[in-house]
Amino acid sequence: MANERRTFFIETFGCQMNDHDSEIMAQLLTGSYRPVLNVNDADIVLVNTCSIREKAEQKAMSLLGCLKIIKKDKPHMVIGIVGCVAQQEGKKILSRLPYVDLVMGTQNLYNLPALLGEIIHNHKRIAAVEQSAAFEIPPYLPEVDKGSVHKRFVTIMQGCNNFCTYCVVPFTRGREISRKFKDIIAEVRHLAAHGVREITLLGQNVNSYGRDLKSGQTGFAELLRAAAEVEGLKRLRFTTSNPRDLNDELIQCFADLDILCPHFHLPVQSGANSILKRMNRKYSIETYLDLVRRLRAARPDIAITTDIIVGFPGESEDDFQATMNLVANVRYHGAYSFKYSDRPQARSTAFTGKLSEEVKGERLARLQKRIGQIVMARNQEYTGKNYEVMVEGRNKSRPDQWFGRTASNHIVNFTGAKSLQAGQIIDVKVIEACQHSLRGILR
Chain positions contacting ligand SF4, by CB under 6 A: 14-15, 17-18, 50-52, 83-84, 168-169, 172-173, 204
Which stretch of DSSP H or E encloses residue 157?
Answer: strand 157-158
Nearer to ligand 5AD, 272 or 407 (CB): 272
One of 150, 234, 343, 410 touching ligand 5AD (CB under 6 A): 343
Which of the choices ligand SF4, ligand 5AD, none does residue 291 contact, using the CB cut-off of 5 to 8 A by kind?
none
End-to-end CA distance of the chain: 55
Total Cβ atoms within 10 A of residue 255: 13
Which stretch of DSSP H or E encloses residue 9?
Answer: strand 7-12
Count of residues near ligand 5AD by CB under 6 A: 13
With CB under 6 A as the contact rule, which of the stretches 16-24, 64-72, 222-230, 338-346 interacts with ligand 5AD? 338-346
| Site pattern 16..55 for ligand 5AD (x: CB under 6 A) | ------------------------------------xx--
Burial of 404 (0-12, 13-18, 19+ CB in 10 A): buried
Cα gap 438→434, rounded to integer Å: 6
Which of the choices ligand 5AD, ligand SF4, none does residue 269 contact, using the CB cut-off of 5 to 8 A by kind?
ligand 5AD
Cα gap 21→44, rounded to integer Å: 17
| Alpha-carbon distance values, 139 to 110, 187, 203, 383 (Å) | 11, 8, 16, 44
| Alpha-carbon distance values, 300 to 225, 288, 297, 411 (Å) | 20, 17, 6, 20
Smallest distance, ligand 5AD to C-beta of residue 325, A: 18
Cα gap 197→37, rounded to integer Å: 26
Which of the choices ligand SF4, ligand 5AD, none does residue 18 contact, using the CB cut-off of 5 to 8 A by kind?
ligand SF4
Cα gap 257→434, rounded to integer Å: 30
Smallest distance, ligand 5AD to C-beta of residue 315, A: 12
One of 167, 191, 327, 367 touching ligand 5AD (CB under 6 A): 167
Smallest distance, ligand SF4 to C-beta of residue 206, A: 13
Smallest distance, ligand SF4 to C-beta of residue 14, A: 3
For CA atoms 406, 412, 415, 418, the dihedral sign is positive
Which of the choices ligand SF4, ligand 5AD, none does residue 309 contact, using the CB cut-off of 5 to 8 A by kind?
ligand 5AD
One of 12, 269, 406, 408 touching ligand 5AD (CB under 6 A): 269
Is 190 a binder of ligand 5AD (CB under 6 A)?
A: no
Nearer to ligand SF4, 168 or 199 (CB): 168
Contacts of 54 (CB under 8 A, 6+ apart): 341, 342, 343
Total Cβ atoms within 10 A of residue 324: 16
Closest residue to ligand 5AD: CB criterion: 307
The answer to whether the CB of 47 falls within 8 A of the CB of 14 is no
Cα gap 167→376, rounded to integer Å: 30
One of 112, 156, 260, 309 touching ligand 5AD (CB under 6 A): 309
Angle at 271 between CA 269 and CA 273, to 5 degrees: 100
| Phi, psi (deg, nearest 5) at residue 225 | -65, -40
Which of the choices ligand 5AD, ligand SF4, none does residue 312 contact, using the CB cut-off of 5 to 8 A by kind?
none
Is 85 a binder of ligand 5AD (CB under 6 A)?
A: no
Nearer to ligand 5AD, 88 or 341 (CB): 341
Smallest distance, ligand SF4 to C-beta of residue 155, A: 12
Is 340 a binder of ligand 5AD (CB under 6 A)?
A: yes
Cα gap 41→23, rounded to integer Å: 19
Q: What residue ranges bind ligand 5AD (CB under 6 A)? A: 52-53, 166-167, 267, 269, 307, 309, 338, 340-341, 343, 346
